[in-house]
Amino acid sequence: MSTLEVRTYGPEAKPRVGFFTDTSLCIGCKACEVACKEWNGVPAAGQSFTGDSYDNTGSLGADTWRHVAFVEQRVPLSAEDGHDLVKVAAARQLAGEADLRWLMSSDVCKHCTHAACLEVCPTGALFRTEFDTVVVQPDVCNGCGYCVPACPFGVLDRREGDGRVWKCTLCYDRLKDDREPACAQACPTNSIQFGVHSELVDRARERVGQLHERGVEGARLYLDGPGDGVGGAGAFFLLLDEPEAYGLPPDPLDPTTRLRGTWGAVAGAALAVAGGLAAAFLGGRR
Amino acid sequence: MVPAAEPRTYYGRPVLKEPVWTWEVPVYFFTGGLAGASAGLGLGASLAGNRPLARSAWAASLAGIAVSPALLVSDLGRPERFLNMLRVFKAGSPMSVGSWILAASGAAISVASAHELLGLGPPGLGRGAGAAAATLGLPLSTYTAALLTTTSIPAWHEARRELPLVFGGSALASAGAAAAITTPVRHAGPARRYGTAGGTGVP
């Protein structure tokens, strides 16, 4: 579907770009959050103390286009479980008696292949760019809010006091100038990698293979291929645990893929209403 | 035995965003359904020569269609941009389809009601508008189910097969009831049957 949309750009179409967020490299510095705010002029989301590890950002929203998640896990490590002695000793030394594992991940709009937000948008404010990314046009959006519950990842939200919906543009303005998005440029560990989507996917598959070889069995790719309910995503991830642990849906679905059947049910109901009307006038006199 | 599944979350936070729609939207589901189903009742009564019932039904339809756009516009984050709804037509967006149905219904119901209630306009136009309004009333009273169920909210999305019938039945019940209480009893037979058909159709 998206290739069709991009093809309408004709010679102006560009190769699909995206983010490969390798969470095994994330150190939780939040430089991506800061760079995004700075470049895109995103308003402050309010100061708060959540008490949830180092995460005081909370979640993605109208005023948060990058969100670094911090997951603290007690992972029992022992030589009896087959872990090697050096690893166990190192973990003990780092975390004391309780074996703490700290997962960090920078979340962002996924720029889905089948983007529900874009499909349901009644004004055309949400559109697919020549880079195969999904962007809201602030001069068109009238704040109807349909994309908010449509998104299977809870990315979009309406901005307080503004009334419109805002989200990551994958730095559309920078892309037009052949520059990488601000978050990717700011990332000091290359956890956020920007590039041509197909090259990123190849790189990610190689990386997950390397991690498996090194014994990181929990490493997995998320949204990297077309097999899931959103047809894969422009921004995909290498995770070290199940998606749920990071607040990501394990089985996301573009709800508009089932719209044909729903329109059928609507047509059936409309006929039933017509039947009720006929029954009212033809159904005898009392 | 399979151990019980333990749902995992990120600090108990929801994966999805809460809808930003406020009370205007569910009230519109009622007024839009009332307007759509009343148009059908109005056309039927006009054709059957039941003047008192026709007047009641067209009045209810006009009232419903008059407040519906106001409710929807006031729910927008940028109400002054409501016309952007008619900037494009997208069959893949129930709200886009609904905006066009609502706009066309508004025109048809207004012309039909002006003819039926006030005798304005040529009879041919009034009759044509009445037929158009009654036809458009069928999707008007049911498309809202597609609007709700084409979201990622599981409780809504999983109701996508049944909800259109529930909304259609509710619209019938509303229209029948509105006409029955505003029409003399001896003329209100079809309205009672109409409302009952809707009420019993709702599971």
User: ∠ at Cα A258 (B36, B69), nearest 5°?
Assistant: 30
- Distance, in Å, from the CA atom of A167 to the CA atom of B193, rounded to the nearest integer, reads 50
Which phi and psi (to 5°) does residue A157 adopt? -155, 160
Kindly determine whether residue A280 and residue B190, on different chains, have CB atoms separated by under 8 Å.
yes
User: ∠ at Cα A191 (A186, A197), nearest 5°?
Assistant: 95
Closest by CA to A62, choosing from A183, A167, A175, is A167
Q: CB of B21 within 8 A of CB of B75?
A: yes
Q: pLDDT category, A6, cuts 50, 70, 90? A: low
Q: B8 in contact with A at a CB cutoff of 8 Å?
A: yes
Q: CB of A149 within 8 A of CB of A90?
A: no
- Distance, in Å, from the CA atom of B202 to the CA atom of B170, rounded to the nearest integer, reads 7
Q: pLDDT category, A95, cuts 50, 70, 90? A: low
Query: For residue B189, how many other CB atoms are within 10 A of its CB?
Result: 19
Q: CB of A135 within 8 A of CB of A129?
A: yes
Q: pLDDT category, A2, cuts 50, 70, 90? A: very low
The pLDDT tens digits of the residues spanning B25-42 come to 999 999 999 999 999 999
Query: For residue A80, how many other CB atoms are within 10 A of its CB?
Result: 7
Residue A44: exposure state from Cβ atoms within 10 A (0-12, 13-18, ≥19)? exposed
Comparing alpha-carbon positions, the chain B residue that sits nearest to A152 is B152
- Distance, in Å, from the CA atom of A164 to the CA atom of B26, rounded to the nearest integer, reads 21
Q: B84 in contact with A at a CB cutoff of 8 Å?
A: yes
Q: With 80 as the cut, is the pLDDT of residue A101 above it?
A: yes
Tell me the chain A residues in contact with residue B10 when contact means C-beta distances shorter than 8 Å: 69, 71, 244-247
Q: pLDDT category, B153, cuts 50, 70, 90? A: very high
Kindly determine whether residue A142 and residue B85, on different chains, have CB atoms separated by under 8 Å.
yes
**Cβ-Cβ contacts under 8 Å for A149 (sequence gap 6 or more):** B16, B17, B18, B19, B151, B152, B153, B156
Q: pLDDT category, B203, cuts 50, 70, 90? A: very low
DSSP-derived letter for residue B78 is: S
What is the C-alpha end-to-end distance of chain A, expressed in Å?
Answer: 56
Comparing alpha-carbon positions, the chain B residue that sits nearest to A105 is B10
Strands (E), chain A: 17-22, 66-74, 100-108, 126-128, 134-136, 157-158, 165-166, 192-196, 220-222, 235-239
- Distance, in Å, from the CA atom of A118 to the CA atom of B139, rounded to the nearest integer, reads 23
pLDDT reported for residue A273: 93
Rg (CA), chain A: 23
> How big is chain B, counted in residues?
203
pLDDT reported for residue A284: 59
Tell me if residue A62 falls in helix, strand or coil. coil
- Distance, in Å, from the CA atom of A78 to the CA atom of A89, rounded to the nearest integer, reads 9
CB pairs A-B closer than 8 Å: 226
**Cβ-Cβ contacts under 8 Å for A134 (sequence gap 6 or more):** A109, A111, A112, A115, A117, A118, A126, A127, A128, A234
Closest by CA to B104, choosing from B85, B80, B124, B132, is B132
Q: With 90 as the cut, is the pLDDT of residue B45 above it?
A: yes
Mean pLDDT of A124-145: 97
Of the candidate ranges A8-12, A206-210, B87-91, B152-156, the one whose mean pLDDT is the lowest: A8-12
Joined tokens for residue B124: 């041919």
Mean pLDDT, chain A, rounded, equals 91
> How big is chain A, counted in residues?
286
Report which residue type is found at B151: T
Q: pLDDT category, A286, cuts 50, 70, 90? A: very low
Using CB atoms, pick whichever of A148, A163, A269 lies closest to residue B164.
A269
Query: For residue A66, how many other CB atoms are within 10 A of its CB?
Result: 29
Tell me if residue A65 falls in helix, strand or coil. coil
Largest CA distance in chain A: 90
What is the C-alpha end-to-end distance of chain B, expressed in Å?
Answer: 37
**Cβ-Cβ contacts under 8 Å for A12 (sequence gap 6 or more):** A130
Mean pLDDT of A196-203: 98
Comparing alpha-carbon positions, the chain A residue that sits nearest to B85 is A123
Mean pLDDT, chain B, rounded, equals 94
Comparing alpha-carbon positions, the chain B residue that sits nearest to A116 is B151
pLDDT reported for residue A94: 61
- Distance, in Å, from the CA atom of A89 to the CA atom of A99, rounded to the nearest integer, reads 10
Of the candidate ranges A75-79, A263-267, B27-31, the one whose mean pLDDT is the lowest: A75-79
pLDDT reported for residue B151: 98
Closest by CA to B63, choosing from B162, B145, B179, is B179
Choosing among B83, B95, B150, which should be mutated to test the A contact, i.e. which has the most A CBs within 10 A? B150
Kindly determine whether residue A286 and residue B8, on different chains, have CB atoms separated by under 8 Å.
no
Q: With 70 as the cut, is the pLDDT of residue A81 above it?
A: no
The pLDDT tens digits of the residues spanning B58-104 come to 999 999 999 999 999 999 999 999 999 999 999 999 999 999 999 99
Q: pLDDT category, B202, cuts 50, 70, 90? A: low
Residue A274: exposure state from Cβ atoms within 10 A (0-12, 13-18, ≥19)? middle
